């Protein structure tokens, strides 16, 4: 098709005409063996094209579904609402924990001056945390856009966001934590702590104890600002952020049942071995506000 075609009926007419012409051409072949071979090849080609058409249908149905109800979509496609639900299942309710836009920005910290090389570095655990959250969001049908959080960053980008960053790394993390009436993060005695505001109870990383344990803690919060959602993850160490991501992935449905669309914060503890997460639990919270 060399020219643009805007009419859906014309696209369908041309497809049917080409299909009919192909079938007629095969039917005119005089050699039965050749006709059978060509028919099989055409059939096989058609079968291979079906997934592409199905993906195309699903993609455009999702795009249309962002502006239409299932009932309206069913009328437009001349199919039942049940069939619409089969073709494009509704996202699970806990997807709303990350906002409703359908796209989430994931920010991960980059660090300068760690080595003699004049380039920013990303901790392996931060990269793994970003990958884990990207995988979770992808399973929820959410588009992911990654961005770097530099040392002097003070703002979160527009739109729904997941920020993987502690207050030691960039000011933007500290400003978000200042909004939290339930928890805070502070440095004292050469260590970082997560403190429960109401009780002044403090939780530090077991890996910083005189007898270190393969365990860490992380701050996890959900902020609602200007009609958008910001999920904030800040481990005492970067492995703690990875633990929080693992916990979120494994408990997102249960967490959503507790907090729904409210703002909240919690302390997540993880254990690890060879820098791999072996277990997680919620040490305190969730505190809703």
Residues 262-288 have pLDDT tens digits of 999 999 999 999 889 999 999 998 999
Do residues 136 and 251 touch, judged by C-beta distance below 8 A? no
Q: What is the pLDDT of residue 47?
A: 87
pTM of the model: 0.72
Among 60-69, 151-160, 166-175, 214-223, the minimum mean pLDDT is found in 60-69
Task: Report how far residue 149's alpha carbon sits from residue 145's, in angstroms, rounded to the nearest whole number.
Answer: 13
Residues 78-98 have pLDDT tens digits of 888 888 777 776 677 888 899
Q: Which residue has the tokens 């962002």?
A: 66
The arithmetic mean of pLDDT across residues 121-131, rounded, is 87
Percent of the chain whose pLDDT exceeds 70: 93
Residues 157-183 have pLDDT tens digits of 899 999 999 999 899 999 999 999 999
The model's confidence at residue 66, banded by pLDDT at 50, 70 and 90, is low
The model's confidence at residue 64, banded by pLDDT at 50, 70 and 90, is confident
Asked whether residue 152 carries a pLDDT value surpassing 90, the answer given is no
Mean pLDDT of the chain, nearest integer: 88
């Amino acid at each position: 098709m060399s020219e643009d075609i805007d009419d859906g009926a014309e696209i369908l007419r041309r497809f049917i005409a080409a299909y009919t012409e192909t079938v007629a051409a095969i039917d005119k072949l005089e050699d039965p063996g050749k006709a059978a071979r060509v028919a099989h090849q055409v059939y096989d080609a058609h079968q291979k094209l079906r997934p592409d058409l199905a993906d195309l249908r699903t993609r455009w149905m999702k795009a249309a579904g962002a502006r239409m109800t299932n009932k309206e979509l069913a009328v437009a496609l001349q199919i039942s609402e049940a069939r619409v639900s089969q073709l494009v299942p509704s996202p699970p309710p806990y997807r709303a924990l990350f906002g409703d836009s359908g796209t989430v920005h994931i920010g991960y910290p980059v660090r300068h001056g760690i080595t003699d090389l004049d380039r920013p570095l990303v901790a392996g655990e931060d990269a793994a945390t970003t990958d884990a959250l990207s995988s979770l969001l992808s399973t929820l049908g959410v588009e992911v856009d990654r961005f770097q959080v530099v040392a002097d960053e003070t703002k979160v980008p527009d739109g729904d966001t997941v920020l993987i960053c502690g207050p030691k790394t960039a000011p933007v993390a500290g400003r978000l934590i200042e909004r939290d009436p339930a928890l805070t993060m502070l440095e004292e005695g050469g260590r970082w702590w997560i403190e429960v505001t109401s009780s002044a109870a403090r939780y530090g990383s077991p890996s910083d104890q005189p007898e270190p344990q393969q365990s860490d803690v992380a701050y996890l919060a959900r902020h609602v600002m200007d009609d958008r959602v910001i999920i904030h993850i800040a481990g005492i160490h970067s492995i703690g952020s990875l633990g929080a991501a693992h916990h979120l992935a494994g408990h997102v449905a249960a967490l959503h049942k507790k907090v729904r669309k409210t703002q909240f914060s919690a302390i997540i503890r993880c254990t690890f071995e060879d820098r791999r997460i072996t277990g997680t639990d919620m040490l305190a919270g969730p505190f809703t506000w």
